[in-house]
Chains A and B, each alone.
Chain A
Amino acid sequence: MLALLSAACQRGHSPGERARLVFKYQPLWGDPAPLREHLARFAAENPDLDLRVETLPNSTDLIHQFFLTALEGGDDSFDVLVADVTWIPEFARAGWIADLSDGFPPDGLRAAFLPGPTDAVVLGGRTFAVPWYVDVGLLYVRTDLTPRAPRTYDELRSFARAAMERHPSLAGYLWQGRQYEGLSCNVYEAIWGHGGQAPEVGRRILLDTAAARTGLLYLHDLIASGISPPLVTSAAEEETRRVFQDGRAVFMRNWPYAWAELQAAGSPVRGRVGIAPLPSLSGQPGPGTLGGWQLAVNAHAPPERRRAAARLIAHLTSPEANLLMALAYGRNPARRATYADARLRAQAPMIADLAPLVEHARPRPVTPYYQLFTDLLQGEFSAAISGIRTPEQALARAQRQVDRLIGWAP
């Protein structure tokens, strides 16, 4: 306890004349050396700065909790922070993250970065964060069990059923239906795939729409008709990935991370898996949910440290850094041009193949209310897909609760 206290006291005094700059991020899987070397180059170019990195817990929930309490309490002990794609409007509205428009003008950002992540970080014509790497929901297909990737929901169902008739032990389509944020991503994709906007964010956040009812009904019917096994109602990413990797399913909705696992040496489905955009009602590629992390600057930090922090963000989101994150850590670039880079094509062709998918990735509703209502929605989405309530009942309940919450706010 005393040691902790004295350590905390010492941290307050910067050694010598150099200003301390702290980068707070969540652990990246893999060898820490490449990122460390990349940061060391920044430190070498900025000898006036004492660059420190501090890691956060490896849980989105806990990171949000940490920032909520630290930033609300005015904590200025860190300068550059990572933020999930849905947090930017919330943090910006709260005044916790600094306006970065001077260093990263919205137009410049829009020209260089993918549209989805740009929409998530440019709010009211001001830039509040810079995309670090992106994620997108996509479809994994067993190429040995299907003629080709399904484009429509009908094809998804009929291809799955045909394969299941030939191999009765197979599950058809796996996705994430546990009551958590991943379920929201799956539901939004189903709504977008049916041509809806979800939810519509205006003065009122409109959840209870025809497209939302259709999307939820589609997910519910997948389970009810046996195309998706009951286990999806308690499954998150890893639960579905393992079943698919065991060779026990025809299709799976997941994030790009699963690719490396499925194609690893010893994987039963190695060489028999393809990726495709999600299917849709019309046959147009269905948009996947945009995920991924952004870098922002702590608004509580003094101005000179905020400027240094913006320089660090530029260093961490440069084209070179995008390539490094893709090659060393399998993180998908947020910059459009990186997908065409010859080195990426040669060394990580799967990531290069994601170009059309990330181009159409859609952010979840970009609103400061997001964290406030997503938890309410998850409970109702879960009720609808598992058949406890009809989509109509579930959405009506969600709408009432959200109206209560938002109706209070200005």
Chain B
Amino acid sequence: MGTVSRGAPSRGGSLAAERRQAYLLVAPAVAVLAAVALYPIGAALWLSLHRHIVVFHERSFLGFANYRFLLADARFWSALGHTAYFTVVAVSAELALGLPLALILHEARRGRGLLRALVLIPWAIPTVVAAKLWAWLLNPSYGLINRLLGGADINWLGHPVLALHTAIVVDAWKTTPFVAILLLAGLQGIPEDIYRAARVDGASSFRIFRSITLPLLRPALALALLFRTLDALRVFDAIYVLTEGGPANTTETLSLYAYKTLMRAGDFGYGATLSVVTFLCVALAAAALVRGLGRGWEEAR
């Protein structure tokens, strides 16, 4: 496009020269990306093919033995299961709650700025602080939540089934505002005259929402879905603070398992294997989402 807009007669030589120049211009950015993104990924991949336990200064090449062990590692599979479950439930809840919230924020006439600021508070609190706050609220013996439930004796974070769901609630509380703000931006991008035309045609509110708002909001919804899914798949801090993976690893996610293996145990080889697999899961999910959503965008147009 550059050649055309310049209006110069397009000759083979100058095109090649221009392409060279383009490569030169992007080279620094590519080099930086390679240094900070590709090199660590490659290094982790290489490390995952080794048995490397720092304390013992052991570093021996194993090939794919770590990966074979991973396939039989019950703790890995349960961590993968928890991660997938957490992601699906948390992201669904955040979208389901974020959309109405965005609509309310969009429609609100009075106190709009204040309302938006209030909604953003959970998102603005650092995750670790928010999780610690929730841990105290959820404390079975003197937490506010049980007191509000009339002195119920519910061990939110100590019960094997409840704990993961409690973590999902905390995550939804924390990130629903983020989804809502993304969707609000999408809502504000929809031109007002379409709504006016629909109202002139006598369309009901529900019909307007279904036929105008929702389809035109699709790109924003897709973006929110993509961001939140990738974040949720890597969830670490909230769960680390709330339960450290307990009880009995029932809230352990892939990142948490990888962290414990790397930094507590010092088993760098297997820890790297877990990190690589986590990365692959996230990359696969991203690719699938981008593909699926890309198709959605085409249709929406």
B237 to chain A, nearest CB (A): 13
User: Within residues 295 to 350 of chain A, which ones have a CB less than 8 A from any CB in chain B?
Assistant: none
A379 touches B264 (CB 8 A): no
**Residue B75 is within 8 A (CB to CB) of chain A in the complex:** yes
- Chain B CB within 8 A of A371 CB: yes
In the complex, the 9 A-B pairs of residues with the closest C-beta atoms, listed nearest first: A179-B246, A234-B158, A383-B248, A233-B158, A231-B140, A379-B249, A382-B248, A234-B157, A65-B263
What chain B residues lie within 8 Å of A93 (beta carbons)? 55-56
Q: If the complex has contacts A68-B54, A231-B155, A410-B56, are A178 and B263 also in contact, measured as CB distance less than 8 A?
A: no
Q: Is B57 an interface residue (CB 8 A)?
A: yes
Give bound CA distance, A95 to B55, whole Å: 8
From B53, B69, B158, B244, A372 is in contact (CB under 8 Å) with B53
Given contacts A382-B246, A388-B248, contact A94 B55 (CB under 8 A): yes
The 19 sampled A-B contact pairs (Cβ below 8 Å) are A64-B263, A64-B264, A65-B263, A90-B266, A94-B54, A94-B56, A178-B246, A179-B245, A233-B158, A234-B157, A234-B243, A246-B142, A372-B53, A375-B261, A375-B264, A379-B249, A382-B248, A386-B247, A410-B58
Identity of the chain B residue whose Cβ is nearest the Cβ of A388 in the assembled complex: B248
Q: Does A107 contact B (CB under 8 A)?
A: no
Known: A231-B155, A388-B160. A68 touches B246 (CB 8 A): no
Contact B265–A230 (Cβ < 8 Å):
no
Is the beta-carbon distance between B247 and A382 smaller than 8 angstroms? yes
Residues on A close to B: CB < 8 A? 61, 64-65, 68, 72, 90, 93-95, 171, 177-180, 229-235, 239, 242-243, 246, 248, 368, 371-375, 378-380, 382-383, 386, 388-389, 401, 404-405, 408-410
> How far apart are B81's CB and chain A's nearest CB, in angstroms?
15
Is A386's CB under 8 angstroms from B142's CB? no
Whole-angstrom distance between the alpha carbons of A243 and B163 in the complex?
21
Task: Name the contact of B265 in the complex, choosing from A229, A232, A372, A389 (C-beta under 8 A).
Answer: A372
The answer to the question of B291 belonging to the interface, with a C-beta cut-off of 8 Å to chain A, is no
Chain B contributes a number of interface residues (CB within 8 A of A) equal to: 37
Task: State the Cβ distance, B235 to closest chain A Cβ, in Å.
Answer: 17
The docked-state distance in angstroms from the alpha carbon of A84 to that of B119 is 43
In the complex, chain A residues whose CB is within 8 Å of the CB of B264:
61, 64-65, 371, 374-375
The distance in angstroms between the C-alpha atoms of A177 and B248, with both chains bound, is 11
Find out whether the CB atom of A234 lies under 8 angstroms from the CB atom of B155: yes
Contact B155 A379 (CB under 8 A): no
A61 to B265, CA, bound (A): 11
Tell me if B153 is interfacial: C-beta within 8 Å of chain A: yes
Set of chain A residues within 8 Å of B160, measured between Cβ atoms = 386, 388
CB atoms of A90 and B55 under 8 A apart: yes
Contact for B244 among A72, A178, A373, A401, CB less than 8 A: A178
Shortest A120–chain B CB gap in Å is: 16
Q: Are A408 and B51 in contact (CB under 8 A)?
A: yes
A179 close to B248 (CB less than 8 A): yes
Q: Give A371 to B244 CA distance when docked, in angstroms.
A: 16
| Bound-complex Cα distance A382 to B252 (A) | 13
Neighbouring A residues of B155 by C-beta, 8 Å: 230-231, 233-234
B157-186, CB under 8 A of A: which get 1 and which 0?
Answer: 111100100000000000000000000000
Query: Is B139 interfacial (CB 8 A cutoff)?
Result: yes
A residues in contact with B213, CB < 8 Å: none
Residues of chain B within 8 A (CB-CB) of A242 are: 141-142
